[in-house]
Amino acid sequence: MYFRLLIWMALILIGFPVLADTAIGYRLSANSSQANDTSIFNVTESNDGFSHRLFNELYAKLQFKGINLVATYNVNITDEHDVEKDSLLNEVYYDFSAKGLDFTIGKKVLSWGVGYGYRPLDLIQQENRRALNALNLEGVTMSSSAFYTGNTAISLLIANRTLLAERKYQDEFETGIKIYSLYDDWDLHGLVHYSETFGASLGFGFATVVGEGFELHASSIYRSRYHKYINGLIETNETLAQADPIYEKKYYDCVNAVLGFTWTFQSRISIIGEAWHDCTAHTHAEWAAMRDLTKLQQSLLSSLLPPEQSATENQIQGNQRYFSGSNLLQNSVFARLSYEGEKTVPYIDLLVTPDDGGIVISASVSHEARQNISLFTSARYFTGRSGSAFKQLSDQAIIYLGFRAEFVM
């Protein structure tokens, strides 16, 4: 199953007989998800049972004289015995210094800013920080230089990504300047970013410790341009379309922001609280309009002939692209209660979208069975008001069970 990656890793170990930091790991997780039979996007026969997937991830990490490399090989198996295989060079970049500057060039994961459930300053690569089964991310092709003076670091970055804008995929370069400064007990972050698709952005963030065990953080960013999916039928007050009506619409001038805290007690119990606004997500009015359109399309299915019925079903399912953003609605409130044990780390968290009354409840427990082996189980349940976005997701509940083994050489 992992023959190709095993050969590749063996060649690395032969080619670099003395490695400073090398790790080989394997993650196995079983996923069961319960279908949401009441979703307005459901066009199949009633199905309130569970579907199952088996995730296998074999990965290797290497650090050697400034060379950093992460490679993965994934094999996913569905309950229909379909097998999906994927090998990926997640990161490969080189760190070096010259003339008082630090340089990085290659493919690297870029996660910026402050915040837990949502980071507005993560412009180039938005990491899903609430993922129940977080796998290794794929980096972005980039080059950067950093200059340090006192307690301040100034970084200049140029990245290349494939972006989707107005139904077109295109390779595009983007630039950014990131400033980090440590001032007394304050971590200060500043960001300037520009790309042809998204225009100019200007952001600021901070994190500070107030008293004993209480941390406060916030960040905000102004974006001159952004895109999000819109159903063209809503704009024309029509019900059915001859072609795909979903497209990415360009908007101008908005502000994203997050405000939160972390309160850690001597008993190792921690409480995280955050509230954020994401202008690139859909407003409550936009979601309600798409929800009402989908309900109307559902009511017409039984009266349509098979060709029109099939096309309408595809449009109903295509409306789910409203769920593709990092946030479903613009405003969210998040809270997490966790315990940092020596070997066992449990947590439970709650995410609420107050505009429509959507609720997500998540819980997880990880346990270090041995020095290099950990077990984990996690679950997530979507609920809330009947018309809320979370209540209309295709899954009502998700459960993960698995283990990870990692060996450092």
pLDDT of residue 2: 46
pLDDT of residue 144: 95
Is pLDDT larger for residue 215 or for residue 18?
215
Name beta bridge partners: 265.
none
Q: What is the pLDDT of residues 243-291, one digit of tens each?
A: 889 988 899 999 999 999 999 999 999 999 999 999 999 999 999 999 9
User: Rounded to an integer, what distance in angstroms lies between the CA atom of residue 202 and that of residue 78?
Assistant: 43
pLDDT over threshold 50, residue 1: no
Max intra-chain CA distance, the chain: 73
Q: What is the mean pLDDT of residues 73-88?
A: 87
pLDDT of residue 163: 64
Amino acid at 84: E
Q: What is the mean pLDDT of residues 142-159?
A: 94
pLDDT of residue 131: 87
CATH classification code of 3-408: 2.40.160.100
pLDDT over threshold 60, residue 50: yes
Q: What is the pLDDT of residues 322-367, one digit of tens each?
A: 888 889 999 999 999 999 999 999 999 999 999 999 999 999 999 9
pLDDT of residue 45: 65
Mean pLDDT of the chain: 88
- Of the candidates 93, 95, 89, 76, the one whose C-alpha atom is nearest the C-alpha of residue 29 is 76
Structure tokens at 166: 């107005």
139: helix, coil or strand? coil
Of 30-34, 123-127, 295-299, 389-393, where does mean pLDDT reach its minimum? 123-127
What region, left, alpha or beta, does residue 308 occupy, with left being phi > 0 and alpha being psi -120 to 50 degrees? alpha
Name beta bridge partners: 259.
218, 275
Q: Which is it for the CA torsion 198, 130, 152, 149, positive or negative? A: negative
Q: What is the mean pLDDT of residues 37-61?
A: 83
Give residue 17's pLDDT band: very low, low, confident or very high (50, 70, 90). Answer: very low
pLDDT over threshold 70, residue 40: yes
- Whose tokens are 């008993």? That residue is 267
pLDDT of residue 48: 58
Q: What is the pLDDT of residues 61-76, one digit of tens each?
A: 988 889 999 999 999 9
Q: What is the pTM (predicted TM-score) of this model?
A: 0.88
pLDDT of residue 78: 85
pLDDT of residue 10: 53
Give residue 150's pLDDT band: very low, low, confident or very high (50, 70, 90). Answer: confident
- Whose tokens are 């995929």? That residue is 169
Q: What is the mean pLDDT of residues 286-301?
A: 92
Please, what is the end-to-end C-alpha distance for the chain in angstroms? 23
